[in-house]
Amino acid sequence: MKIDDLKHAKLKEWVQWAADLMTPNEVVICDGSKEEYDSSIKALVDAGLGIPLKKRPNSYLFRSDPSDVARAESRTFIAAKNKDEAGPTNNWIDPVELKKTMTDLYRGCMKGRIMYVIPFSMGPVGSDIAKIGVEITDSAYVVVNMHIMTRVGKKVLDVLGTDGFFVPCIHSIAKPLQPGESDGGKWPCEPDVNKKYISHFPDTYEIWSYGSGYGGNALLGKKCLALRIASVLARDEGWLAEHMLILKLTNPDGKVKYMAGALPSACGKTNLAMLVPTLPGWKVEVIGDDIAWMKFKNGQLYAINPEAGFFGVAPGTSEQSNYNAMQSIKENCIFSNCGLTDDGDIWWEQIGYPAPGKTVIDWKGNERPSPQTDKVPKEGEPIAHVNARFTAPAKQCPCIASEWEDPAGVPISAFLFGGRRASTIPLINQSKSWIHGVFMGSITGSEITAAALDLKAGSVRRDPFAMVPFCGYNMGDYFAHWIKLGKKAEAEGNGDKLPKIFFCNWFRKDADGHFMWPGFGENSRVLSWMFDRCDGKDNAVETAIGFLPKPDAITAPEGVKPEVMAELIKVDTAGWKEEISSIRDEHYAKFGDRLPKELYDELDKIEKALA
């Protein structure tokens, strides 16, 4: 299919403009077919970028440039009409200035390459919650990843018709080729981080990305469209676009509830969404592992997963920690920045077994002696990059729920927020009201992980709703949007249909720095407590900070001593007092008068109750 075959006049004009600006050798309109996937893979293998894996049918390993291994938050921009609209948590550049800078960068940037035009749907094609995007890119790696992560091709153009709404997304790896030149096995990108741009124009719903080929910087349907631009659409249209997993929980009586959970990047969404319960009789199935789009219908909130695949953190994934993810990645997958064993398989730290053979090739392409254990090395570089990822079709997951593609979505009974906190924050806590739940989401703090490349891993930062890197507008207004939706439901008499709100912390540490809670499958104990709370079961005590489990409401997993269990579910009054003053002085203060007054009221209430 060529540009002239496009029936949507605005799309055709935009594609032609991009081709004239970026001057590729050729323009290809993607049809989403298997042939297209296979030929793109072949081009990547021929260029020395994709390595076929002997042990996994139709699967390939890629190694990116060391400058290009995660999202670049310092180079991510929300170019709203003024700085205040972007808010204190976003980087801002004037949109006119940014477009000028980037237009100059885009000029001729695809020379010697193919310009792919990828029509994609976020959400089941044709669902009334779904949205269409079109990504222009010069990266075949992006094409194959988008094939797995979204729904691509002709069927999308059919829904778009001659005048449908789409989000235009431009992406270039910023590495034109001279005549006769090939990538020759070197990951193409702009290696200077300060020359990368991941830009969003919320007032015109546009995305322009330049210089990075990795993950959320390049697969523009994911964080750029489905969160940053979608959060703006959601604000304007009265729905929610969230960094949330969606899971289906079935109790031993066969009763079902759906829950959505926001945990910051690399804090356990994929693991929670696919967990194998240790509690007998309970079942968890996955609807989505990273993003939820939610709309109210007749007072009930329904969620869809806008994605079609998992772009999951590889290190730490094992048959033990995430059996269902391991089953999902047996074939038809793309691996990025994992180790390569000498028998042609991928390997990473905590995969559950030591690397076979004498040597293994690390994510930088260096041959290394095979580690004798799968532990994270105390010194020296790991074999797999800490933000190494797998791209897997969601339908390959053994615990995918049969309704995961239902265009109507699934009804949400509970929201779960959480973060990585070594102290203070209890294992689980239920809010006393919707507004108290919004307060909980707004104060989320978490130790920084390796999912962003320019932040210091380990230190605690506030990441309200796990959305700080992904909210396309002023987060003070985002809090207000959440409050407004709850108030509207209550005013319409649907308050009891609102999801109950919870806050979890799987990451408490003892004085020796060991996790106090075993996590993973044992988190089912917490999910079952939440399930029963949603049914109004009397298994909680009211405290200053919320409803905590009664002492025996959650039975301790093997190896967790009663005193540790008690510690996990008690109110750490001194810790919370510090927490409250840090929220007031350092966190909320940043938002000035955009911070809804209701949240200060919640803060005051808790402070009083703790005194």
Catalytic residues: 267
Q: How many residues bind ligand GTP (CB under 6 A)?
A: 22
State the Cα–Cα distance between residues 227 and 243, nearest whole angstrom: 7
Answer with the entry of ligand SPV, ligand GTP, Mn ion, none that 515 interacts with (C-beta below 5 to 8 A by kind).
Answer: ligand GTP
Cβ proximity to ligand SPV: between 147 and 223 the closer is 223
Mark 250-269 with x for binding to ligand SPV (rule: CB under 6 A) and - for no binding.
---------------x----
Residue 82 C-beta: closest distance to ligand SPV, Å: 27
Residue 10 C-beta: closest distance to ligand SPV, Å: 28
Answer with the entry of ligand SPV, Mn ion, ligand GTP, none that 321 interacts with (C-beta below 5 to 8 A by kind).
Answer: ligand GTP
Q: Does 76 participate in binding ligand GTP (rule CB under 6 A)?
A: no
Helix (H, G, I), strand (E, B) or coil at 337: coil
Residues 285-324 that bind ligand SPV (CB under 6 A): 290, 311
Cβ proximity to Mn ion: between 183 and 242 the closer is 242
The candidate with the shortest Cα–Cα distance to 433, out of 486, 493, 489, is 486
The torsion of the CA quartet 14, 20, 26, 28, rounded to 10 degrees, works out to 0
DSSP assignment string, 67-127: T-SSB-GGGEEE--SSHHHH-TTSB---HHHHHHHHHHHHTTTTTTSEEEEEEEEESSTT-
State the Cα–Cα distance between residues 546 and 569, nearest whole angstrom: 11
Residues 10-69 that bind ligand SPV (CB under 6 A): none
Q: Which of 258, 439, 473, 520 binds ligand GTP (CB under 6 A)?
A: 520
Instruction: Read off the amino acid at residue 214.
Output: Y
Cβ proximity to ligand GTP: between 117 and 224 the closer is 224
Residue spans of beta strands (DSSP E) within 455-504: 460-462, 500-504
Residues 253-282 that bind ligand GTP (CB under 6 A): 263, 265-271
Q: Does 463 participate in binding ligand GTP (rule CB under 6 A)?
A: no
Residues 68-107 that bind Mn ion (CB under 5 A): none
Radius of gyration (Cα) for the chain, nearest Å?
A: 24
Cβ proximity to ligand GTP: between 127 and 321 the closer is 321
Both tokens assigned to 405: 């593609």
Give the up-direction half-sphere exposure of residue 346: CA atoms within 13 A in the CB hemisphere. 35
Cβ proximity to ligand SPV: between 205 and 310 the closer is 310
Q: Does 133 participate in binding ligand SPV (rule CB under 6 A)?
A: no
CB 328 within 8 A of CB 148: no
**Among 9-17, 216-224, 315-323, 402-410, which window interacts with ligand SPV (CB under 6 A)?**
216-224
Both tokens assigned to 530: 């939440």
CA angle 339, 344, 347 (to 5 degrees): 30
CB 309 within 8 A of CB 552: no
Residue 44 buriedness (CB in 10 A; 0-12 / 13-18 / 19+): buried
Task: State the residue number with the nearest CB to ligand GTP.
Answer: 519
Scored b (16 or more CB within 10 A) or e, 378-398 reads eeeebbbbbbbbbbbbbebbe
Q: Which of 54, 94, 515, 535 binds ligand GTP (CB under 6 A)?
A: 515
State the Cα–Cα distance between residues 210 and 213, nearest whole angstrom: 8
Answer with the entry of Mn ion, ligand SPV, ligand GTP, none that 506 interacts with (C-beta below 5 to 8 A by kind).
Answer: ligand GTP
Footprint of ligand GTP (CB under 6 A)? 263, 265-271, 289-290, 312-313, 315-316, 321, 451, 506-507, 515, 519-520, 523
Footprint of ligand SPV (CB under 6 A)? 71, 215-216, 222-223, 265, 290, 311, 451
Footprint of Mn ion (CB under 5 A)? 265, 290
